[in-house]
Chain A
Amino acid sequence: MKRVLILLTLCLFATGVAIAEPAGDAKALNVKTFQFKYKDADKAAAIIKQLMSPEGSMSIQPASNSLVVTDRAEKMKAITDALAAFDTAPHPVKLSLRLVGASRSETATKVPAEMRDIGAKLAVLRYNAIDDLGNANVDGHEGQPTTIDLQNGYRVDFKFGEYDPSSDSIKLDDFRLSKVEKDQLVQVYQATLNLKVGQTLIFGATKTHGQRAIFLVFNARR
């Protein structure tokens, strides 16, 4: 009887070891280094933060634009996939831009033929006199800084931001409209804009009770 009990105990012990081994493997932490070609390592870190387990950790290496990630094997797969999808070549972007001055006038004025559509839209805001201050077409890509000099001393500066597939929009980072006055460049405004691809955006600015406004008409395409 004693021998049977000893045998049974040994069997149970062996079974316990067999069960425990795979669990130990699954909990082991893996270390992997990701080097980025197109995107910044710090932005990648923000993306994978939510994918990591509580035991996971990462360190950013700015010199090599890389990220060292330590986490469990099953988490590492999702992190690798997410980073592969993130580090892609910048999307190309086409942007049409037109600057329009508009005012409310007592007398009706003639609207140029190429601006009739815009004129109709601005009529809703009771602007009946409009003048073309220049336009530009830009072929760029994500992350590209751009400067456009328009008529009457206006200048536009911005940087193409990232294309967001979830909202199908492209960001214009650090968008600045400036005007040369007395040989000095004066900033009119600065903003960060999200342009929906294929949609025309009429972005106007005026003072309270102002009779004149300035409009930028954007159209972004991929």
Chain B
Amino acid sequence: MTSCLEFRSLFHAGTNDPALLEHLRSCDPCLDYAAHLDPDVMFRAIGGENLVPPGGVDAFVDDVMRAVHVRSKEDVVESHHALSWPRRLAVAATIAASVVGGTLVFEHERQPLPAAIQARAIAPRPVVAQVKLTTKPVVETYSSTSATIVEVPSESAGDTTKIVMVIDDKLPADL
């Protein structure tokens, strides 16, 4: 294992020393140092010209798979925390408030108006014309079913006298 001091003393631009390149894979400060001296070292570190990456294929695959696994775990954790408890409560409270509010408004609309307002609304407007009275028969019942009851028509429209005549053969002879 190469230490950072050894790396910095041995590293030079264009180096392909596997031990140095292996150190770069695990040390970020030295990677910055190396990139400052030789920007191409990034490509060489993953084996730009050589198909076998530094540290071997297995180590590289392990690195990649670890990175993929960490990413997928992060996604799962993120998706689990997409809706936190306070947010859920806020949504539920909003829905509940909407439902209850809507219900109260609906009930309020259904409630009858206060008696005073209702009475004012229902109160009839002053009637200019007099209410027409109903008419009842003068003779509602009569003792003899065979009798004939005749109403004599009035002589004029303004006549306040009504004449009703009963013709009944069951009346006593001496009236």
Q: How many residue-residue contacts, CB under 8 A, span A and B?
A: 131
B interface bracket (residues with beta carbon within 8 Å of A): 35 or more
Measured CA separation A7–B103 after assembly (Å): 17
Which residues of A are found within 8 Å of B155, using beta-carbon distances?
A: 124
Do A7 and B95 have beta carbons less than 8 Å apart? yes
Of A199, A202, A207, the most chain B CB neighbours within 10 A belong to A207
Measured CA separation A201–B144 after assembly (Å): 21
Do B171 and A205 have beta carbons less than 8 Å apart? yes
Do B99 and A202 have beta carbons less than 8 Å apart? no
What mask results when residues 97 to 136 of chain A are scored 1 for a CB within 8 Å of chain B, else 0? 0000100000000000000000001001100000000000
Which residues of A are found within 8 Å of B142, using beta-carbon distances?
A: 189-191
Do A208 and B169 have beta carbons less than 8 Å apart? yes
Which residues of A are found within 8 Å of B139, using beta-carbon distances?
A: 191-194, 203
Checking A18, A19, A22, A204 against B165 with a beta-carbon cut-off of 8 angstroms, the contacting residue is: A204
Do A19 and B103 have beta carbons less than 8 Å apart? yes
Which residues of B are found within 8 Å of A199, using beta-carbon distances?
A: 160-162
B80 at the A/B interface (Cβ < 8 Å)? no
Q: Which of A46-54, A57-65, A164-172 contacts B (4 or more CB under 8 A)?
A: A164-172
Please judge, given known A-B contacts A4-B92, A201-B162, whether A181 and B168 are in contact too, CB under 8 Å: no
A214 at the A/B interface (Cβ < 8 Å)? yes
B134 at the A/B interface (Cβ < 8 Å)? yes
Which residues of A are found within 8 Å of B138, using beta-carbon distances?
A: 193-195, 201, 203
Do A201 and B164 have beta carbons less than 8 Å apart? yes
Q: Which of A8-16, A35-43, A80-88, A138-146 contacts B (4 or more CB under 8 A)?
A: A8-16
A222 at the A/B interface (Cβ < 8 Å)? no
Do B137 and A194 have beta carbons less than 8 Å apart? yes
A212 at the A/B interface (Cβ < 8 Å)? yes
B29 at the A/B interface (Cβ < 8 Å)? no
Measured CA separation A3–B83 after assembly (Å): 12
Which residues of B are found within 8 Å of A125, using beta-carbon distances?
A: 152, 163, 165
Do A11 and B99 have beta carbons less than 8 Å apart? yes
Give the residue name and chain of the A residue nearest to B95 (CB): A8
Do A200 and B165 have beta carbons less than 8 Å apart? no
Do B162 and A168 have beta carbons less than 8 Å apart? no
B 99-148 contacts with A by CB, 8 A? 99-100, 103, 106-107, 133-144
Give the residue name and chain of the A residue nearest to B149 (CB): A191
**Shortest distance from the beta carbon of A105 to any chain B beta carbon, whole Å:** 15
Do B164 and A4 have beta carbons less than 8 Å apart? no
Please judge, given known A-B contacts A15-B100, A203-B138, whether A121 and B171 are in contact too, CB under 8 Å: no
Give the residue name and chain of the A residue nearest to B98 (CB): A11
**Shortest distance from the beta carbon of B94 to any chain A beta carbon, whole Å:** 11
Which residues of B are found within 8 Å of A14, using beta-carbon distances?
A: 100
Measured CA separation A48–B109 after assembly (Å): 31
Residues of A at the B interface (CB closer than 8 Å) are 3-4, 7-8, 11-12, 14-15, 18-19, 22, 101, 121, 124-125, 164, 166-169, 171, 179, 181, 186-196, 198-208, 210, 212-214
> What 10 A-B pairs come out closest when comparing CB atoms?
A190-B143, A192-B140, A7-B92, A192-B141, A11-B96, A194-B136, A200-B161, A205-B166, A202-B163, A167-B136
